[in-house]
A = this chain, B = another copy of it.
Amino acid sequence: MVTTKSASKQDTKIALLETGMDIMLEKGYTNTGIQEILTALRVPKGSFYHYFDSKENYAAEIIKHYDQAYSANLIRTLRNPKETPVQRLRSYCQTSKENLEMRQCSKGCLIGNLSQEMSDQSELLRTELSTVITKWRDMFTSCIEEGQSVGEIRKSASAESLAEFFLSGWSGAVMRAKTLKNSEPMQTFIDLMFEQVMKP
């Protein structure tokens, strides 16, 4: 048999999650149709409902899948031993900004997008999003704590507060950049955040 091409079973589920992630990142939850994902992957509907109970559950799994990839990158960035804590935070901002610019300020972050769209529509998705938001914030808190302990970040505010403030500002800046089609809000955030807020 020369047919080594056949992807093993569970690959279909992962393909569904990954393609759905991409499309939902661009078009949101409501505006994404299941058939559209199925057509793109040439997967029949029977397969979809074999792997997922409903569109809502599917989206919940997409959120978890997105978090897995994002968290891994966050750990790499925010615990990079070759940089100081503040440098790591700056790297995170710089990289995200460049990514957004590469896509002409479209898409942004799936968690932010779904948060706005779905928090009032689905308690299940709101809970999932809430978990991810808290998890990410804790990673930033650790990095900021480390920055405080090496005297690189002011101690007049708690690491938790600074992390919450940082992420509010950053996600708001991304949202505004998407609408203004201009990354200037992100640059303004970077400038003020590091020069006026973080500095001891």
Contacts and interface: CB of A to CB of B under 8 A. Distances in A.
A106 B120 contact: yes
A93 B120 CA distance: 22
Interface residues of A, number: 51
B165 A171 contact: no
Nearest to A104: B120
Contacts of A165: 169, 188-189, 192-193
Interface string A143-167: 0000000000010110001101101
Number of copies: 2
Nearest to A189: B168
A126 B157 contact: no
Interface of A: 26-28, 30-31, 106-108, 112-113, 115-117, 119-121, 126, 129-130, 133-134, 154, 156-157, 161-162, 164-165, 167-173, 175-176, 178-181, 184-185, 188-189, 191-193, 195-197
